[in-house]
Amino acid sequence: MEKNTILFMRPVLKEKIWGGNRLSRDFGYDVGEDSRIGECWGISAVPGSETCVAEGPFEGKTLAQLWSEDRELFGGLNYEQFPLMVKIIDAAGDLSIQVHPDDSYARRVEGKPFGKTECWYILDCDRTASIIYGHNARTEEELKTMISEGRWDDLLCEIPVKSGDFLQINPGTIHAIKAGTMILETQQSSDLTYRLYDYDRVDKDGNKRELHIDKCIDNIRVPAERPRKPSTLSAAADIRNLMGDGRLGESFVLELFACRCYTVFEIRVGGSLRLKQPFPFLNMSVVDGFGEINEHPISKGDHFIVPCDFGNISLTGNLKLVASTVMY
């Protein structure tokens, strides 16, 4: 066991019909010139798309391998899989309108360990950007009618977003990212997505992507949940207790959201910041700037996991990070 080792991840890049070129242009990921890379999976143990360790004693091991061979790195947690996944999404076009199942539906219908609760931290977006979040149907009947009649404008709620916004998306919530938005998504380790509507788009061969209307109707909550503002102030004292009084000049830790599935933090470093690592593990993604973590250089686009019992984290430089963990 090497608990003083930071697990730097080699991301997995995904081409998407709605993808743009900012993951290579702004985040420096090594991709072909003309490819439309929509997603960078920075931390993932989803089978078939696992990130692996880029350097150090665990170099080349996938996150799933570490999970099965060295569970102490993750505080001995007993989930079936590493529980979280972190992505950066560059939407040059609109993503399909979709909904995700909860854990019990995922187990019962799909035979998978996790449903998908996810959350978005808006990294950057056009001035007029918006997202689809929730719907206007008052009853299940009305929902089914609006879907079968294709009354998407009546059904879907669209809300404006700006950079720095945070949105929690519970299972059963209709949602979609729209064009011109870059987000960091923290989610349960799952790729269960049910597509409700895809703007009748066709690929270059004239084929539409598959829809999953029945499974959508099984899962969509009626009436819809309204987006909630994260309650950052009440969490501040807890964070100080857990991670130390990090506030130092321009540097701070902010809890963005906590739920059964994850706790997500925003971390800013302007100079230096020392933190405790009291969690089973801490996922960290650099979303802006550059600097060092415990004297190892880091910059925008890096994703890494600080393991259990690592000791103090020392950050220096000018950095913006999004971090996540699960509670014991």
Catalytic residues: 195
- CA–CA distance, 283 with 318 (Å, rounded to integer): 19
- CA–CA distance, 225 with 100 (Å, rounded to integer): 14
* Backbone dihedral angles phi then psi of residue 240, each to the nearest 5 degrees: -60, -40
Only one residue has tokens 């971090």, namely: 323
- What is the sign, positive or negative, of the torsion defined by CA atoms of 243, 52, 189, 118? positive
Under 8 Å CB-to-CB from 206, ≥6 apart: which residues? Answer: none
Closest CA to 120 of 157, 164, 154, 84: 164
Q: What is the largest CA-CA distance in the chain?
A: 59
- CA–CA distance, 153 with 144 (Å, rounded to integer): 14
Relative to beta strand 281-293, strand 303-307 is antiparallel
Could you tell me the two tokens for 66? 């570490």
